[in-house]
Structure 1
Amino acid sequence: MLRSLYSGVSGMRGFQTKLDVIGNNIANVNTIGFKGSRVMFKDILSQTVSGVSAPDENRGGVNAQQVGLGVSLAAIDTVHTPGSAMTTNVPTDLRINGDGFFAVGTTEQVDAPYLTRAGNFTVDPTRNLVNSEGLHVMGAGGAGPIIIPDEIVSFSIAQNGEIIGVNTDGETINTGQVVGVVRITNPAGLEKIGGNLYQVTGNALGDGEEIEVGIPGDPETGVGSIISGQLEMSNVDLTGEFTEMIIAQRGFQANSRIITTSDQILQEVVNLKN
Structure 2
Amino acid sequence: MMRSLYSGVSGLKVHQTKMDVIGNNIANVNTIGFKASTVQFSDVFYQTTQSASGANALTGMAGMNAKQIGLGTTLSSISASMSTQGGAQRTDNATDIMITGNAFFVVNNGNGNYFTKNGSFTIDGSGYLATESGYYVMGWSPDPADPNKIKQDTVNKIAIQTPENSTTPPEATTDVTLKGNIDKTDSNLTGDGYIISSEFYDNLGNAYTAKIKLEKDTAATKDENQYKMTLAGITDKDGKAVTSALMTGVTFGGDNYTIDATGKITGTGTSAIVKFDANTGAFISTSTGTAAAPIKTLDMKITAASDTTGKVTLFGKEGVIKYDLSSITQYSTTGACSISSSKGSLENTGAGKKVGNLSGISIQTDGKIYGSYDNGTSKLLGQIAVANFANPAGLESIGGSLFAATQNSGEFDGKGKDVSEDGGKFSTGVLEMSNVDLSSEFTNMITTQRGFQANSRIITTSDTLLDELINLKR
The TM-score bracket by the shorter chain reads over 0.9
In structure 1, the gaps of 5 or more residues are: none
TM-superposition CA deviations, 1:168-219 (whole Å, max 9, x none):
31222222x001111111011000001000000010017xx7354111111x
Match of 2:457 in 1: 257
- In structure 1, distance between residues paired with 2:56 and 2:49: 22
8 Å CA contact 1:100, 1:223 repeated in 2:
no
Native 8 Å contact 1:107 1:144 kept in 2: no
Q: Is contact 1:33–1:117 with CA below 8 Å preserved after alignment?
A: yes
Could you tell me which residue of structure 2 aligns to residue 147 of structure 1? Answer: 159
Distance change in 2, residues 1:210/1:60 (3 Å) = farther
Aligned AA for 2:158? I
Give the number of aligned pairs.
Answer: 265
Where does 1:120-135 land on structure 2 (aligned, <5 Å)? Answer: 120-135=120-135
Trace 1:154-233 onto structure 2 (pairs within 5 A): 154-175=360-381, 177-205=382-410, 210-218=413-421, 222=422, 224-233=424-433
Q: Which has the higher contact order (CA 8 A, sep 6+)?
A: 1
Which residue of the partner structure matches residue 29 of structure 2?
29
Residue in 1 aligned with 2:74?
Answer: 72
Q: TM-score, normalised by structure 1?
A: 0.94
1:238 maps onto 2:434 in alignment: no
**Native 8 Å contact 2:45 2:71 kept in 1:** yes
Name the amino acid aligned to 2:135: L
TM-fit CA distance, 1:223: 5.9
Distance change (3 Å), C-alpha of 1:16 and 1:126: same
Call closer, same or farther: CA 1:163–1:132 in 2, change over 3 Å.
same
What is the Cα deviation at residue 228 of structure 1? 0.8
Higher helix proportion (structure 1 or 2): 1
| 1:83 aligned counterpart, secondary structure | coil
SS at match of 1:226: strand
Please tell me the root mean square deviation across aligned C-alpha atoms, in Å: 1.3
Output the TM-score relative to the length of structure 2: 0.55
Give me the whole-angstrom Cα distance separating, in 2, the residues matched to 1:187 and 1:52: 42
Q: Larger deviation: 139-148 or 120-129?
A: 139-148
Give distance in 2, aligned partners of 1:197 and 1:2.
44
TM superposition shift of 1:164: 1.4
Alpha-carbon separation, structure 1, partners of 2:414 and 2:63: 55
Which position in structure 1 is the counterpart of 2:106?
103
Matched residue, 1:114 = 114
Deviation at 1:29, TM superposition (A): 0.3
Match of 1:213, SS?
coil
Q: Which amino acid aligns with 1:202?
A: Q
Partner of 1:62: 64
Choose between structure 1 and 2: higher strand proportion: 2
Report which stretch shifted further, 56-65 or 251-260. Answer: 56-65
Moved segments of 4+, more than 4 Å: none
Cα displacement (A) at 1:61: 1.0
Judged with a 3 Å threshold, the aligned counterparts in structure 2 of structure 1 residues 262 and 54 are, in CA distance, closer, same or farther, namely same
SS at match of 1:214: coil
8 Å CA contact retained: 1:183, 1:223? no
**Aligned partner of 2:416: which letter?**
V
**1:150 and 1:245 mapped to 2: Cα distance?**
53
Q: Give the match for residue 9 of structure 2.
A: 9
Q: Give, as a single letter, the amino acid of the residue that structure 2 aligns with 1:56.
A: N
Larger-Rg structure = 2
Identity fraction in percent? 46
- Cα deviation, 1:228-265, whole Å, max 9, x if unaligned, reads 11100000011110110011101000000000000001
Deviation larger for 80-89 or 100-109:
100-109
Q: Secondary structure at the match of 1:173?
A: strand
2:406 partner SS: coil
> Over residues 78-114 of structure 1, what are the superposed CA-to-partner deviations in whole Å (9 max), with x where a residue is unaligned?
11111001111101000001110000003453xxx10
Q: Does the CA-based 8 Å contact 1:182-1:223 persist in structure 2?
A: no
Specify the SS of the correspondent of 2:419.
Answer: coil
Q: Is the 8 A contact 2:366 2:425 kept in 1?
A: yes
Question: Does structure 2 retain, via aligned residues, the 8 Å contact 1:107–1:145?
Answer: no
